[in-house]
Amino acid sequence: MKKLPVVLLCFTLFFPSISSIAQAVEKAKVPAKQGVDLAPNAVSAVLIDRDTGTILYEKNGHKSLPPASITKVMTMLLIMEALDRGELKMTDKIRTSEYAASMGGSQIFLEPGEEMTVNDMLKGIALASGNDASVAMAEHLAGTEEAFVKKMNERAKQLGMDDTVFKNANGLPVAGHVSSAHDIALMSRELLKHEEITKYTGLYQDYLRKDSKKPFWLVNTNRLVRFYTGADGLKTGYTSEAKFCLTATAKRGNMRAISVVMGEPDSKIRNQEVSAMLDYAFNQYDSQPLYKEKQVVKTVRVGKGKQETVDVVVPYRFSMLVKKGEKG
């Protein structure tokens, strides 16, 4: 990480044209075909290209609404980042407190004092939307859920999620706990930089406590991972206040799209409209890869340096979004 600023600086200095393109693409917005409402029943919706962040469709994208269990995208992001920093291992055992075990709503029925690996906790969060597992992980990483929520809000600000305020780690209804389709797309995109998360969010079913006397069958609350080609995530949400919400992602060929809807009247319509949004992305656009993640694109000589050369490395996958049928 200490080398990253040098790498990025070198990339900007030696590839100014690519840097300018990247900045332009990040700010790009390609509206859906005029007159077409891809999500007529949603209160709010956003469709983006994962690699560039280009907005392909938007409806009330910055409207602050209760996100329900989509909140757990941020919880999973902080878990994945802790794993990257070496603060956590998939094999670590997480102990369940009485408070974590007391969570209502969707749960994996953790008992006070029960221990479960990070790997299994992630399954419980990603597939079963376990409120208890989310709080157990929050307490393990930050000491208390309150301290973890502070980290959630700090990370949200870093990502530019200006419509979002988190009050808990699982999305259970609390006054003032809000986000927007735009912000959910931002944190979903960030989570998908950890591509291994789709090993969990893309599962349709699995077991917890498989070899115990009380095995627990998990079925993904996001049915699109089974019925939509290329879908492998990301997170559903429902409360009576929030209605039916979903941040979904699918990959076809070189392109990965993220579709977010909030306030849908039921799960069937939610899935239909998310599918229509994803269809639009894949039918209208394509992604042209330029550089792979961590690809060395140039070696630069360092004058009077302890090191004679330094590699210019692309820190993440870099591609261009193109309209199908257009050349150049």
Give the model confidence (pLDDT) of 27-57 as tens digits.
Answer: 445 555 545 799 999 999 999 999 999 999 9
Taking residues 69-84, what's their average pLDDT? 98
Give one DSSP letter per residue of 147-215, joined into a string. HHHHHHHHHHHHTT-TT-B--SSS----TT-BB-HHHHHHHHHHHTTSGGGHHHHT-SEEEESTTSSS-
Q: Is the pLDDT of residue 141 over 70?
A: yes
Question: Percentage of the chain with pLDDT > 90?
Answer: 81
Name the residue with higher pLDDT: 289 or 145. 145
Q: Render pLDDT for 166-214 as a digit per residue (tens, 0 to 9).
A: 999 999 999 999 999 999 999 999 999 999 999 999 999 999 998 888 8
Concatenated DSSP letters for 133-149? HHHHHHHHHHSSHHHHH
Q: Quick check: 103 pLDDT over 50?
A: yes
- How much is the pLDDT for 213? 83
* Residue 17 vs residues 156, 233, 317: alpha-carbon distances, Å: 30, 34, 17
Please write the tens of the pLDDT for every residue from 111-122: 999 999 999 999
User: Which residues are CB-contacts of 283 (< 8 A; sequence separation ≥ 6)?
Assistant: 324
pLDDT tens, position by position, 78-87: 999 999 999 9
Long-range own/partner contacts, residues 165-170 (CB < 8 A, 24 or more apart): 166/71, 166/74, 168/71, 168/135, 169/71, 169/72, 169/75, 169/134, 169/135, 169/137, 169/138, 169/145, 170/69, 170/71, 170/72, 170/75, 170/103, 170/105, 170/131, 170/134, 170/135
| 3-class DSSP assignment, residue 219 | strand
- For tokens 């259970």, what's the residue? 172
- 229-233: long-range contacts, CB 8 A cutoff, minimum separation 24: 230/282, 231/202, 231/278, 232/198, 232/201, 232/202, 233/126, 233/192, 233/197, 233/198, 233/201, 233/202
Structure confidence at residue 119 (pLDDT): 97
pLDDT of residue 28: 47
Residue numbers annotated as active site: 69, 72, 129
Q: Averaged over 86-93, what is the pLDDT?
A: 98
| Average pLDDT of every residue of the chain | 90
Average pLDDT score over residue span 125-138 = 97
Q: At what angle do helices 131-142 and 118-126 cross, to 10 degrees?
A: 140
- Res 36: pLDDT: 78
Question: Encoding tokens for residue 105?
Answer: 């709503």
Return the pLDDT at 13: 44
Q: Which residues contact 5 (CB under 8 A, 6 or more apart)?
A: none
Residues of the chain with pLDDT > 70, as a percent, come to: 89
What pLDDT sits at residue 328?
Answer: 60
Assigned CATH for 31-287: 3.40.710.10
How do residues 209-224 score in pLDDT, each as one tens digit? 988 888 899 999 999 9
Q: Give mean pLDDT, residues 72-101.
A: 98
Q: What is the pTM of this model?
A: 0.87
**Span of 25-39, 197-211, 252-266, 280-294 with lowest mean pLDDT:** 25-39
How far is the C-alpha of 79 from the C-alpha of 122, rounded, in Å? Answer: 9
Summarize pLDDT for 302-324 with one digit per residue, the tens. 999 899 999 999 887 889 999 99
Tell whether the model's pLDDT for residue 298 goes beyond 80: yes
